């Protein structure tokens, strides 16, 4: 190559340098507030189990119950596909993967509930249950029977139950420390948040605990449950949820939509409280925009229609749950709540079909983008980021295999992480 040609410019270096200096604070603020994807696995669901019902065998029991329901109500791929409307070409791979998942890892995220699912008990009873939960969680991580993510949902920060919630949190975390330390998969959930100051209070509690036990500052994160109207729109008319993320001081890991509490707070009658109601769509859209780029994940809520009874009734409940899960995935809500073992087959069927049906097209588009080979769609870097994220989520949950992705794209997991804007170290 010849010597680079000189082109004419008009801006003096001092102008450019002045602009850089003027925007330095903005650059730092963008980096702090919008660090991007944390590069960790997001579970496809959260299972809630009351604090007094959780045992060492809960996770395996949920998997066994789900498998038994498949045996009874959908004993083969064709039966499940017919019940849920899954295409013939996906039926076999999806069914096989669902069964394998229920045998290997039936629950991805488990929350031991000391709030609505537990209720009000004597202090002695809740103390005992919180201490027992800590011992069981610690033992599960030691012996390899834990879900990838586990923790508790404490009572909220409202005056009537605040002290009880704080004590349960303290008993649980202290018990984990006594049993060997906090597990990597620890997740805490703060419910019924109404004011930003309640999030600040939670962050202060965790900071105090870390100092007491000489833990790394910021080690303990928590989820914020969005189940009150005040968490979306404050009394001053300002959007609240983004301020809550800021108030968590980097500790917020996700926002979870609470279907029934939020719907009720909007005056929706019980028969119409569902995750596809317009009030739910509005709340989750606000959550999604507030969390975008921050590294905070968004989770959909649940359905209270349980798959129980005769096969026809189970299939009706399965179709509802499957449809709601598919709808959420299309709207980029990649996680939801499951309230019954019978929800596991349809959770995984919906998730696996979602990732498998788009695998070849997504892989082809990404491969063409990397090779600059064109194709019938002109993708940009942002779309390549989304395509990589789609494949990574499919890999994380077991919907697709690494060798499939490598064969179709020519890319490694590290390559996908890079294209998705994730840190090179991925979980």
55's enclosing H/E stretch is none
Give percent above pLDDT 90 in the chain.
90
159: its two tokens:
């005056």
pLDDT value at position 371?
Answer: 84
- Average pLDDT score, the chain: 94
**Dist CA 10 CA 45 (whole Å):** 56
**Dist CA 35 CA 154 (whole Å):** 28
pLDDT value at position 426?
Answer: 41
pLDDT, mean of residues 154-165: 97
- What does the pLDDT look like over 15-71, one tens digit per residue? 999 999 999 999 999 999 999 989 899 999 999 999 999 999 999 999 999 999 999
Q: Which residues pair with residue 254 across a beta bridge?
A: 223, 297
Buried b (16+ CB within 10 A) or exposed e, 57-79: ebbeebbeebbebbeebbeebeb
Residue 198: left if φ>0, alpha if ψ -120 to 50, beta else—which one? Answer: alpha
pLDDT value at position 27?
Answer: 96
**Dist CA 260 CA 35 (whole Å):** 32
pLDDT value at position 427?
Answer: 40
- What does the pLDDT look like over 330-352, one tens digit per residue? 999 999 999 999 999 999 999 99
Give percent above pLDDT 70 in the chain.
96
pLDDT value at position 376?
Answer: 54
- What does the pLDDT look like over 131-148, one tens digit per residue? 999 999 999 999 999 999
Q: SS3 of 308, please?
A: coil
Q: Is the pLDDT of residue 1 over 80?
A: no
DSSP string for 372-410? T---SS---HHHHHHHHHHHHHHHHHTSS-HHHHHHHH-
Quote the Cα angle for 375-381-384, to 5°.
Answer: 65
Among candidate residues 393, 312, 374, 346, the one with its CA nearest the CA of residue 66: 346
**Dist CA 366 CA 313 (whole Å):** 42
Residue 218: left if φ>0, alpha if ψ -120 to 50, beta else—which one? Answer: left
Under a CB-based contact definition with an 8 Å cutoff, are residues 410 and 375 in contact?
no
pLDDT, mean of residues 267-291: 96
**Dist CA 16 CA 25 (whole Å):** 16
- What does the pLDDT look like over 206-235, one tens digit per residue? 999 999 999 999 999 999 999 999 999 999
pLDDT value at position 381?
Answer: 84
Buried b (16+ CB within 10 A) or exposed e, 353-372: bbbbbbbeebbbbbbbbeee
Q: Is the pLDDT of residue 256 over 90?
A: yes
Q: What count of residues does the chain have?
A: 427
The reply to whether CATH 3.20.20.60 applies to domain 45-356 is yes
Per-domain residue ranges for the chain?
A: 45-356, 359-419
pLDDT value at position 313?
Answer: 98
Question: What is the number of alpha carbons within 13 Å of residue 385 lying toward its C-beta?
Answer: 11
Burial classification of residue 390, based on how many CB atoms lie within 10 Å of its CB (0-12 exposed, 13-18 middle, 19 or more buried): buried
Q: Which residue has the tokens 């925009």?
A: 289
**Dist CA 345 CA 98 (whole Å):** 6
pLDDT value at position 423?
Answer: 75
Q: Which residue has the tokens 């105090």?
A: 208
pLDDT, mean of residues 263-284: 96
Q: How many other CB atoms are there within 10 angstroms of residue 161's CB atom?
A: 18
- What does the pLDDT look like over 353-381, one tens digit per residue? 999 999 999 999 999 888 875 555 556 78
pLDDT, mean of residues 69-85: 97
Q: Is the pLDDT of residue 111 over 80?
A: yes
pTM of the model: 0.92
pLDDT, mean of residues 170-183: 98
| Residue 222, phi then psi, degrees to nearest 5 | -155, 160
């Amino acid at each position: 190559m010849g010597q680079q040609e000189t082109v004419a410019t008009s801006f003096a270096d001092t102008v450019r340098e002045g602009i850089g200096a003027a925007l330095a604070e903005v650059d730092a603020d963008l980096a702090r507030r919008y660090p991007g994807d944390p590069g960790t696995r997001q579970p496809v669901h959260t299972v809630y189990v009351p604090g007094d019902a959780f045992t060492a065998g809960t996770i395996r029991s949920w998997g066994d119950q789900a498998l038994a329901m498949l045996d009874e109500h959908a004993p083969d791929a064709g039966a499940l596909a017919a019940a849920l409307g899954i295409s013939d070409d996906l039926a076999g791979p999806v069914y096989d993967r669902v069964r394998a998942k229920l045998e290997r890892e039936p629950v991805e995220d488990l929350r031991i509930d000391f709030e609505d699912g537990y209720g009000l008990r004597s202090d002695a009873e809740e103390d005992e249950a919180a201490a027992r939960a800590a011992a069981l969680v610690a033992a599960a991580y030691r012996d390899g029977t834990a879900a990838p993510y586990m923790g508790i949902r404490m009572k909220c920060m409202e005056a009537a139950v605040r002290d009880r919630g704080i004590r349960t949190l303290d008993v649980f975390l202290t018990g984990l420390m006594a049993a060997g330390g906090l597990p990597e998969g620890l997740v805490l959930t703060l419910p019924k948040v109404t004011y930003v100051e309640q999030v600040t209070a939670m962050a202060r509690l965790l900071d105090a605990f870390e100092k007491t036990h000489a833990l790394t500052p910021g080690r303990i994160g928590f989820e914020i449950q969005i189940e009150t109207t005040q968490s979306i729109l404050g009394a001053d008319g300002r959007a609240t949820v983004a301020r809550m993320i800021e108030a968590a001081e980097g500790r917020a890991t996700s926002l979870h939509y609470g279907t029934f509490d939020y719907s009720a707070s909007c005056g929706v009658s019980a028969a119409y409280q569902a995750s596809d109601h317009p009030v739910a769509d509005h709340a989750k859209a606000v959550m999604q925009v507030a969390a975008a780029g921050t590294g905070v994940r968004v989770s959909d809520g649940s359905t209270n229609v349980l798959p129980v009874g005769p096969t026809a009734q189970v299939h009706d409940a399965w179709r509802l749950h499957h449809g709601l899960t598919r709808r959420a995935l299309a709207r980029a809500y990649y996680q939801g709540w499951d309230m019954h073992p019978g929800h596991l087959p349809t959770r995984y069927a919906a998730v696996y079909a979602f990732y498998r049906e788009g695998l070849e097209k997504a892989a082809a588009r990404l491969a063409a983008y990397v090779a600059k080979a064109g194709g019938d769609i002109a993708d940009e870097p942002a779309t390549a980021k989304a395509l990589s994220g789609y494949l990574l989520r499919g890999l994380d949950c077991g919907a697709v295999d690494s060798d499939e992705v490598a064969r179709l794209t020519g890319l490694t997991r590290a390559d996908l992480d890079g294209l998705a804007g994730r840190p090179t170290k991925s979980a």
